Structure 1
Amino acid sequence: MRIAFVSFETAHHRDTETNQRLRTVCELLAEHGHDVHWYCAGFWAGEESTFDADGITYHGVSSGLEARSSFLFRLPFVLAAASPDIVHVSAQPPNQVVAANWGATLARAPLVLEWYGDSGVADTRWTRVATGRPDRIVTPSELVGTWVREIGADGDLVETMPNPIDCELIQAVEPGAEVDVIYARRLDEGANLESLLLGLAELRGRDWSANIVGDGPERDAYEQLARELRIEDRVTFLGDLELEERIAAYRGAHVFAQTADHCVFPTELLWAIAAGCVGIVEYHADSSAHELVEGWDRGFRTTSEDELAEAIVAAGDLEHREYDEAFTDYDRSAVADRYLELYRTLQDERGLL
């Protein structure tokens, strides 16, 4: 299948969650042998019009990020000439959805809109227009799906697709040192690590240890808070770790705590619970993390530091695991199959199969 992805900006321009998500989807489909093309602003040196990396062929529709108008004008004609089976466009910036829709119409291909929502879903004229163009809208969670519906999207067109994990990799990594509680996220203003630290402080009279994975501008403040709460001797700040190092840490941990204020999809929580951790999620209106543990017998939802502390104690009664096969539906191959099934359904609806 020839798939045309459209995003003016890529992870090579700016390493955002939205750009990472689209690149991951491209890589999944390329791994399955499909012909994957990304139409974007050029980011590579030299005069070549294309650039190949990780099974993806990037096409420079414009010369750089300063040439957005040129990108939007040229895109429909470039897509028509490419004759893709599917056009898959990112929601950011939203005016590219309109241009991609023209291109898909000319190419007689279905249009899929990927709406990740890591910077929210703004209610603007362009975002409202964008919701009316695609054959399907893909979001990472029900939370983002709700945001998109609230600005006018047809709910019947919205489908949820998770971020994928690699179950074989989890099983291949040796477990790290045993620890009772682990947390992982960039330590910025949205990390809300104070909820976990306050909850742990409620358990000073018990024997426990905790690891904090991640770095960021608020790390010093969180380390200071641990000292003020007199738990610094039991909380270890590990800084940034590579993926395999994080997996090892999760396989050695008993509980993963998710307390961030904003999260459109809890990727690290998913890696951790698939690696055997019990999942404890503090509910927040702008976080989808609770969706991952609802109805799961090794998951807890909390709304306060006291409840979080109680959940940590209750989790101690559950067996320690180093892998949980309940999450194989989130494996890379399974998520790729779901995208391909969506594409084929759209082609069938159009009479293109």
Structure 2
Amino acid sequence: MRVAAVSLRTAHHEETDATGRFRTVLELLRDGGHDVHVLCARWWPDDRDVVADDGITYHGLVPTRDAGRSFCWRLPIAIRRLGADVVHVAAEPPAQVLAARWGTTLSNVPLVAEWTGANGSKETRDYRRAARRADAVVTPSRLVRTWVRELGVDGEDVAVVPDPIDLDRIRSIEPADSTDVVYARRLDEGANLESVLLGLAELRTKDWTATVVGDGPRRGAYQEMARELRIDDRIDFVGAADRDERIAIYRGGHVFAQTAEFCLYPTELAWALACGCVGVVEYHVDSAGHELVEGRERGFRTTSETELTDAIVTAGQLERTDFDDSFEALDRRAVRNQYLNLYETLQDEAGLF
């Protein structure tokens, strides 16, 4: 299948939640043997119109990512010339969704919009128009699906497709040293690590260790807070870690705490649960963290610091394990098939088979 992916800005320009998610989709399709073409602004240093990078072909419609208006003008014809079977567009900025719609109309192919929720629950006229023009909208979580439906999109036209994990990769990595509680996220103003620190401080008379994975502008403040709470000798702030290092830590961990106030999809929690951790999630209205633990024996949803502390204690009494094979639905193959099934369904509905 030939897929035209539309994104003025790519992860080559800037690594964000939105561009990172879109890159993952491209890599899933590429790894499945599909022909992936990205219509974007040039990110390479010379003036070539087309470059190939890691099995994906990039078409630079404009010289810089600031040329959004020119990009939208050129997009419909570029889609028509490419001759793709489906067009998959990033929803940010929304103007490119509208331009891509013109291109798919000319080419008579389906349009799928990848709606990460990076704009929050913003309800501007442009976002409403963009959401309604796609044949289907993909979101990473039920939380973001709700935001899209509030823009006037029929719920049947919104598919929830999670960020993928790699079970084979998890199996291949040995667990790190044992630790009782793990937290992993960029340490910024939305991290809310203080909930975990305060909960652990209530348990200072008990025997436990914790590992904090991640770096960011709040790291120093959180380390100072741990010192003030007199628990810094039991917490290892390991800083930024690559995926293999994170997997090893999760496999050596017992409980994973998810307390961020804003979370479009709890990617690190998903990896940790598959690595055998028990999930403890603090509920927040703008976080999808709780979606992965609802109804699970090895998962707890809390709404206060007291509940969080109690849940950590209860979770710590459950059996330790370093792998959970019940997360097959989140594996890369399964997630790729969700996208392919969506494409084929849209093609079938349009009479393109």
Q: Which TM-score bucket, shorter chain as reference?
A: over 0.9
Q: Give the aligned partner of residue 65 of structure 2.
A: 65
Q: Give the aligned partner of residue 162 of structure 1.
A: 162
Q: After superposition, what is the alpha-carbon deviation per residue over 1:110-141, rounded to whole angstroms, capped at 9, x for unaligned? A: 00011001231321111011111111000000
Question: Distance in 1 between the 2:75 and 2:250 partners?
Answer: 44
Q: Give the aligned partner of residue 329 of structure 2.
A: 329
Question: C-alpha displacement at 1:153, in angstroms?
Answer: 1.5
Q: After superposition, what is the alpha-carbon deviation per residue over 1:274-307, rounded to whole angstroms, capped at 9, x for unaligned? A: 0010000000000001001111110000111111
Question: Distance in 2 between the 1:117 and 1:225 partners?
Answer: 31
- The farther-off stretch of 205-214 and 50-59 is 50-59
The AA in structure 1 aligned to 2:156 is: D
Q: Give the aligned partner of residue 343 of structure 1.
A: 343
Q: Give the aligned partner of residue 132 of structure 2.
A: 132
Question: Distance in 1 between the 2:350 and 2:65 partners?
Answer: 34
The AA in structure 1 aligned to 2:326 is: A
Question: Distance in 2 between the 1:193 and 1:286 partners?
Answer: 16
The AA in structure 2 aligned to 1:69 is: R
* 3-state SS, counterpart of residue 12 of structure 2: coil
Question: Distance in 2 between the 1:119 and 1:174 partners?
Answer: 38
- The farther-off stretch of 116-125 and 322-331 is 116-125
The AA in structure 2 aligned to 1:242 is: D
Q: Number of residues paired by the alignment?
A: 353
Question: C-alpha displacement at 1:145, in angstroms?
Answer: 0.5
- The farther-off stretch of 90-99 and 40-49 is 40-49
Q: Give the aligned partner of residue 141 of structure 1.
A: 141
The AA in structure 2 aligned to 1:214 is: G
Contact 1:80 1:107 in 2 (8 A): yes
Question: Distance in 2 between the 1:336 and 1:257 partners?
Answer: 28
* 3-state SS, counterpart of residue 183 of structure 1: strand
Question: Distance in 1 between the 2:68 and 2:308 partners?
Answer: 47
- The farther-off stretch of 76-85 and 112-121 is 112-121
**Structure 2 residue 297 is the aligned partner of structure 1 residue 292:** no
Q: Extract structure 1 runs of 4+ deviating beyond 6 A.
A: none
**Structure 2 residue 45 is the aligned partner of structure 1 residue 54:** no
Q: Give the aligned partner of residue 40 of structure 1.
A: 40
Q: Give the aligned partner of residue 172 of structure 1.
A: 172
Question: Distance in 2 between the 1:223 and 1:81 partners?
Answer: 55
Q: Give the aligned partner of residue 228 of structure 1.
A: 228
Question: Distance in 1 between the 2:30 and 2:339 partners?
Answer: 12
The AA in structure 1 aligned to 2:256 is: F
- The farther-off stretch of 62-71 and 175-184 is 62-71
Structure 2 segments unaligned to the other structure (5+ residues): none
Q: Give the aligned partner of residue 241 of structure 2.
A: 241
Contact 1:111 1:134 in 2 (8 A): yes
Q: Give the aligned partner of residue 201 of structure 2.
A: 201
- The farther-off stretch of 148-157 and 102-111 is 148-157
Q: Give the aligned partner of residue 77 of structure 1.
A: 77
Question: C-alpha displacement at 1:47, in angstroms?
Answer: 2.1
Structure 1 segments unaligned to the other structure (5+ residues): none
Q: Give the aligned partner of residue 100 of structure 1.
A: 100
Question: C-alpha displacement at 1:150, in angstroms?
Answer: 1.0
Q: Give the aligned partner of residue 183 of structure 1.
A: 183
Equivalent residue runs for 1:24-35 within 5 Å: 24-35=24-35
Identity %, equivalent residues: 58
The AA in structure 2 aligned to 1:2 is: R
* 3-state SS, counterpart of residue 233 of structure 2: coil
Question: Distance in 2 between the 1:213 and 1:195 partners?
Answer: 15
Q: After superposition, what is the alpha-carbon deviation per residue over 1:315-335, rounded to whole angstroms, capped at 9, x for unaligned? A: 122111110001011011110
The AA in structure 2 aligned to 1:48 is: R
The AA in structure 1 aligned to 2:267 is: T
**Structure 2 residue 152 is the aligned partner of structure 1 residue 152:** yes
* 3-state SS, counterpart of residue 132 of structure 1: helix
Across the aligned residues of Structure 1 and Structure 2, the Cα RMSD in angstroms comes to 0.8
Question: Distance in 2 between the 1:92 and 1:119 partners?
Answer: 8
Question: Distance in 1 between the 2:260 and 2:157 partners?
Answer: 29
Question: Distance in 1 between the 2:8 and 2:272 partners?
Answer: 33
* 3-state SS, counterpart of residue 345 of structure 1: helix
The AA in structure 2 aligned to 1:36 is: V
The AA in structure 1 aligned to 2:134 is: P
Question: Distance in 2 between the 1:228 and 1:347 partners?
Answer: 60
Question: Distance in 2 between the 1:279 and 1:297 partners?
Answer: 10
* 3-state SS, counterpart of residue 300 of structure 1: strand
Contact 1:98 1:130 in 2 (8 A): yes
Contact 1:27 1:54 in 2 (8 A): no
Question: Distance in 1 between the 2:51 and 2:281 partners?
Answer: 41
Question: C-alpha displacement at 1:9, in angstroms?
Answer: 0.5
Question: Distance in 1 between the 2:103 and 2:316 partners?
Answer: 55
Q: After superposition, what is the alpha-carbon deviation per residue over 1:17-59, rounded to whole angstroms, capped at 9, x for unaligned? A: 1001111001001101101011001110222111211221111
